[in-house]
Each structure stands twice: as structure tokens, then as C-alpha cells.
Amino acid sequence: MPELSRFLGLIIRMYLDDDSEHHKPHVHVFYGENEAVVSLDGTVLAGSLPSKQYRLVSG
């Protein structure tokens, strides 16, 4: 699971063989106890993030 970025407490990772559940290109974003699957267009496919951190990732 390559880590693409780490900033302001956010960790963004890409899982290479994660086609089964989400059919759009996406990354996994971790922030403390929160985890979200975010598509490359900024849509949250699963999980959640605090609004401030979501704006940082989706912007």
C-alpha cells in the first residue's frame, strides 16, 4: 500500500488491488480515527472525514 502523501495529520494511501468494492479510481485518506475512501473527483465513496480535512483533500 503505497503512501502518496502525508501532511497536516492526513495520510493518503493507494491500495493497488482494491477494485472489488469501489469501481472509480480512488485513494484512502486517514486522519486520526477517521478514514474515508475518496474518488479522484473528490466524492466520498465510503467513510467520513471532518469537514476541514475533507476540504483539504478534495480541493
Q: Is 54 helix (H, G, I), strand (E, B) or coil?
A: helix
Write out residues in the chain with pLDDT < 50, as ranges.
Answer: none
Q: What is the pLDDT of residue 15?
A: 76
Q: What is the pLDDT of residue 22?
A: 60
| Strand arrangement, sheet containing 10-13 | 3-7, 10-13, 26-31, 34-39, 44-47
28-37, pLDDT tens digit by residue?
A: 999 999 999 9
Under a CB-based contact definition with an 8 Å cutoff, are residues 14 and 27 in contact? yes
| 7 CA to centre of own chain | 13
What residue has cell string 486520526? 32
